Structure 1
Amino acid sequence: MQFQHPELLYALFLLLIPIFIHLFQLRRFKQVDFTNVAFLKKVTIQTRKSSQLKKWITLLLRLLALAFIIIAFAQPFTATKTALNTDKETVLYLDNSFSMQAKGTNGPLLNRSLQELYNLQIPSEKISWFTNNTTHKNVSLQDFTNEILSVSYSQGQLTLSEVLLKANQLFSDSEASDKRLILISDFQQNEAFPEVPKNVTINTVQLEPVNTNNIAVDSVYISSKNGNNIQLKVDVSASGDVPESVPVSLFNGKSLVAKTAVDFSSNNTNTTVFDIENTSDFKGRLEITDPNLPYDNNLFFSINTNKKIKVLSINETDSGYLQRLFNQEEFEYTQQTQNSLNYNEIPNQDFIIINELTAIPASLVTAIQSFSANGGSVLVIPSEQVEITDYNNLLATLGMGSFSGKIVAEKQITNIVFDHPLYQNVFEKQVVNFQYPTVNSYYGITTNATSVLTFEDSKPFIFQKNNTYFLSAPINLENSNFQNSPLIVPTFYNMAQQSLALPNLYYTIGKQNSFDVPVQLMKDEILKIKDSSSVFIPLQQTKANKVAITTIEEPAVSGTFDIIKDTDFITNISYNYNRNESNLQYLNTENWQGINSSTSISGLFETISEANNINSFWKWFVIFAVLFLLLEMLVLKFFK
Structure 2
Amino acid sequence: AQPFTSENEEALTESETVIYLDNSFSMQAKGDRGELMRRAVQDLLDSGYDDEVITLFTNDSEFRNVSLKSIQNELVQLDYTGSQLDYEAAVLKGKQMFSSNSERIKNLILISDFQQNREFTPANRDEQFQLKYVQLRPVSSTNISIDSAYIRDNNSNNLELKVKLKSADGSLLNLPVSLFNDDVLTAKTAVDSEENPIASFSLPKNQQINGKLSIEDVQLQFDNMLFFNIDNQEKIKVLSINQADDDFLKRIYTEPEFEYENVPFEQLNYNRISEQDLIILNELDEIPVALSNALNSFVRDRGYILIIPSNESILNSYNQLLRSVSRIYMTGFIPEEKLITRINYDHPLFEGVFDQEVSNFQYPKVKGLIRTQSQGSPVLQFEDGNPFFIQEDNVFVFTTALNEDHSNVLNSPLIVPTLYNVGLSSLKLPKLYYTIGNDIEFDVNTSIQQDDILKLGLGENQVIPQQRSFPKKVTISIGNNLQEHGIYDILRSNEVLDKVSFNYSRKESDLRYYDLSSQFGIESSDSLKITLDEIKSETEINALWKWFVIFALILLIFEMLILKFVR
TM-score (norm 1): 0.80
- For structure 1, the 5+ residue unaligned runs are 1-72, 626-640
Higher relative contact order (CA 8 A, sep 6+): 1
Selected match of 1:476 from 372, 394, 403 = 403
Matched residues, number: 552
Residues 204 and 598, structure 1, Cα contact 8 Å, conserved in 2: yes
The corresponding residue for 2:146 is: 217
Q: In the alignment, is the contact (CA less than 8 A) between 1:201 and 1:595 conserved in 2?
A: no
Counterpart of 2:495 (choices 568, 577, 581) is 568
Distance 1:139 1:377, change over 3 A: farther
Counterpart of 1:329 in structure 2 is 256
CA contact (8 A) 1:598 1:604 kept: yes
1:37-52 matched pairs, under 5 angstroms: none
Task: Tell me the equivalent position of 1:510.
Answer: 437
Residue 197 of structure 1 is matched in structure 2 by 124
Does 1:113 find its partner at 2:40? yes
Q: Report the counterpart of residue 307 of structure 1 in structure 2.
A: 234
Supply the distance in 2 between the matched residues of 1:586 and 1:258 (Cα, whole angstroms).
36
Offset, 1:612: 0.8
Deviation of 1:617 after TM superposition, in Å, equals: 7.5
Equivalence map 1:34-113=2 (5 Å): 77-86=5-14, 88-113=15-40
1:152-551 pair list within 5 angstroms: 152-172=79-99, 177-191=104-118, 193-199=120-126, 200-226=129-155, 228-242=157-171, 244-263=173-192, 266-267=194-195, 270-551=197-478
Show the counterpart of 2:563.
none
User: Any conservation in 2 of the 1:214–1:242 contact (CA below 8 Å)?
Assistant: no
Alpha-carbon distance between aligned partners in 2 of 1:255 and 1:382, rounded to the nearest angstrom: 53
**Cα offsets for 1:438-462 (capped at 9, x unmatched):** 1212122111211111111112111
- 2: distance between equivalents of 1:259 and 1:532? 26
Change (3 A) 1:610 1:272: same
**What letter matches 1:462 in structure 2?**
F
- CA RMSD in angstroms comes to 2.8
Distance 2:69 2:351 in 1: 52
Distance 1:563 1:74 in 2: 68
- Mark the CA change 1:287 to 1:353 in structure 2 (over 3 Å): closer, same or farther: same
Distance in 2 (alpha carbons) for counterparts of 1:623 and 1:216: 64
Matched, 1:610 2:537: yes
Name the CA shift for 1:412/1:129 in 2 (closer, same or farther; >3 Å): same
Question: What is the DSSP-based 3-state SS (H/G/I as helix, E as strand, rest coil) of the residue aligned with 2:442?
Answer: strand
Shift in alpha-carbon separation, 1:76–1:237, aligned structure 2, 3 A: closer
Of 192-201 and 559-568, deviating more is: 192-201
In the alignment, what sits opposite 1:600?
527
Deviation larger for 492-501 or 221-230: 221-230
Deviation at 1:158, TM superposition (A): 2.3
Find the counterpart in structure 1 of residue 565 from structure 2: none
Residues 23-68 of structure 1, C-alpha deviations (whole Å, 9 max, x = no match):
xxxxxxxxxxxxxxxxxxxxxxxxxxxxxxxxxxxxxxxxxxxxxx
User: Quick check: 107-116 or 301-310, which moved more?
Assistant: 107-116
Q: What secondary structure sits across from 2:451 in the alignment? A: coil
Work out the CA distance in 2 between the residues paired with 1:332 and 1:594: 62
The answer on whether the counterparts of 2:117 and 2:508 sit within 8 Å (CA) in structure 1 is no
Shift of 1:430: 0.3
Q: 1:137-190: CA deviations, max 9, x gaps?
A: 444555444532232110122232232233233345666654321111111122
- In structure 2, what is the equivalent of residue 149 of structure 1? 76
In 1, Cα distance between the equivalents of 2:271 and 2:264? 14
The question of whether the paired residues in 1 share the 8 Å contact of 2:49 and 2:67 is answered with no
> Within 2, Cα distance between the matches of 1:138 and 1:361?
72
> Does structure 2 conserve the Cα–Cα contact (< 8 Å) formed by 1:117 and 1:148?
no
Query: Is the helix fraction higher in 1 or 2?
Result: 1
Q: How far, CA to CA, are the matches of 1:212 and 1:408 in structure 2?
A: 64
Q: What secondary structure does 2:273 align onto?
A: helix
Tell me how far apart the structure 1 counterparts of residues 130 and 51 of structure 2 sit (CA, whole Å): 15
Structure 1 residues 517, 139: closer, same or farther in 2, change over 3 A? same
Give the match's secondary structure for 1:305: coil
**SS of 1:409's equivalent?**
coil
CA shift for structure 1 position 507: 1.2
Identity of aligned residues (%): 42
The separation in 2 between residues aligned to 1:173 and 1:381, in whole angstroms, is 66
State which structure, 1 or 2, has the greater radius of gyration over its C-alpha atoms: 1
Distance 2:375 2:144 in 1: 49
Q: Relative to structure 1, is the Cα distance of residues 273 and 537 closer, same or farther in structure 2, using a 3 angstrom cutoff?
A: same
2:108 and 2:204 mapped to 1: Cα distance?
56
Name the TM-score, length of structure 2 as normaliser. Answer: 0.90
One-letter amino acid matched to 1:584: L
- CA–CA distance in 2 between the matches of 1:280 and 1:546? 23
